[in-house]
Amino acid sequence: MNSRLAVAVIIVTWNSSELISIVLSCLRAQTHKPAKIFVVDNFSDDCVQLHKIIEMHPEVELISLPGNIGFAAANNVAIKLCDEIDLVALLNPDAFPEPTWLKNLVDATQKYPDYSFFSSRQMQMNGYLMDGAGDEMSIFGKPHRRGYGKKLHEKYLTDCPVFGACAAAAIYKINALNDINGFDEDYFCYIEDVDLSFRMQLIGHRCMYVAGAVVTHVGSSSLGKRSDFAVFYGQRNMILCFFKNMPIVALVILIPIHIMTNIFFLFASIFVGKFALVFRAKCEAISHLRRLRPKRKIVQQSRKISYKRLFSLFSISFP
């Protein structure tokens, strides 16, 4: 029933040549064949090896960027090339999809026509712990992956609405991406997919978690989960996402606990030797707030959902 829906798969890489051949083999095995596959390379050190791998996959179009412009901007480059495409699937180079992954996502777009973007079930490499079942946004202003680190439970085997889709393995209706002009490139990397989900929700698009769309996700394979890069951008972008997207009433209500949350992370960073790094991330985020005003104005003027609907999207758990 979905054979007429054209799907483009976008994979953004950076020093991931040892993984990309596995991902491309997984895509070749998909029961729903993508119309296009883009591999966007962010000026990797291993570009020679990457080119050799891509040569073995003539169905793949390689986009080699002249510099590392970040995950958000690299995805936007490929999204702009998605002519005559109905759906855009994003896949990390360390997310290995099962053969029915793409078919189940595409089927979900027809099964749930009122939804515009869809998140996969991500499993850790050990095979029994969850890596994520959609993204959540807490009232503390800290996003997190639903079910991360938990054992596979019955509730993760059922489709359900979620706040957002983790861009490691997700699919979007192209018109919904165009409605918000794709990713915000100021994020560079980390939480840019949460920002995307937030903006889509605010204008009335909704997200569905698709339990049958399964990938095995290594997670932070290029940088490491606790790398300085990951910590810095995660801590900085958390603040940017909160202040840019929270409508004024929610902002006033939630800002005290958001401030306390950031103080908590500053305090906790002392015990892992990263206080200076986290402090610098917070300072840079605060310095960006004035620049953020024009974007915030556009986001808030575009908002269509009610405050009741908005607050129903937030979780109360502290990640």
Could you tell me the CATH number of the domain that includes residue 146?
3.90.550.10
What is the number of structural domains in the chain? 2
Same-domain check for residues 77 and 138: yes
pLDDT band at residue 220 using 50, 70 and 90 as cut-offs? low
Q: What is the pLDDT of residue 222?
A: 47
Same-domain check for residues 288 and 148: no
What percent of the chain has pLDDT above 70?
A: 97
Q: Among 186, 217, 248, give the residue marking a domain's end.
A: 217
Q: What is the pLDDT of residue 85?
A: 97
Q: What tens digit of pLDDT does each residue of 156-197 get?
A: 999 999 999 999 999 999 999 999 999 999 999 999 999 999
Q: What is the pLDDT of residue 319?
A: 61
C-alpha 81/C-alpha 315 separation (Å) is 36
Q: What tens digit of pLDDT does each residue of 34-54 get?
A: 999 999 999 998 888 999 999
Same-domain check for residues 187 and 291: no
Q: What is the pLDDT of residue 2?
A: 53
Same-domain check for residues 294 and 238: yes
Domain that holds residue 283: 228-315
Same-domain check for residues 197 and 273: no
Name the maximum alpha-carbon separation found in the chain.
55
pTM above 0.85, yes or no: yes
Q: Please, are residues 301 and 295 in contact by the beta-carbon 8 Å criterion?
A: no
Same-domain check for residues 198 and 253: no
C-alpha 30/C-alpha 102 separation (Å) is 7
Same-domain check for residues 169 and 251: no
Task: Report the b/e string of 7-17 with b at 16+ CB within 10 A.
Answer: bbbbbbbbbbb
pLDDT band at residue 223 using 50, 70 and 90 as cut-offs? very low
293 to 159, 240, 245, 301: CA distances (angstroms): 36, 11, 11, 12
Q: What is the pLDDT of residue 27?
A: 97
Mean pLDDT of all residues in 6-30: 95
Q: Among 165, 186, 217, give the residue marking a domain's end.
A: 217
pLDDT at 57 > cutoff 60: yes
C-alpha 267/C-alpha 285 separation (Å) is 17
In degrees, rounded to 5, the angle at the alpha carbon of residue 35 between the alpha carbons of residues 29 and 37 is 70
C-alpha 83/C-alpha 74 separation (Å) is 17
pLDDT top residue among 96 and 221: 96
Give me the chain's average pLDDT, please. 94
- The helix (run of H) or strand (run of E) holding residue 270 is helix 248-270
Same-domain check for residues 43 and 91: yes
In degrees, rounded to 5, the angle at the alpha carbon of residue 307 between the alpha carbons of residues 306 and 308 is 90
Same-domain check for residues 207 and 280: no
Is 223 a domain residue? Answer: no
pLDDT at 226 > cutoff 90: no
Q: Among 184, 217, 250, give the residue marking a domain's end.
A: 217
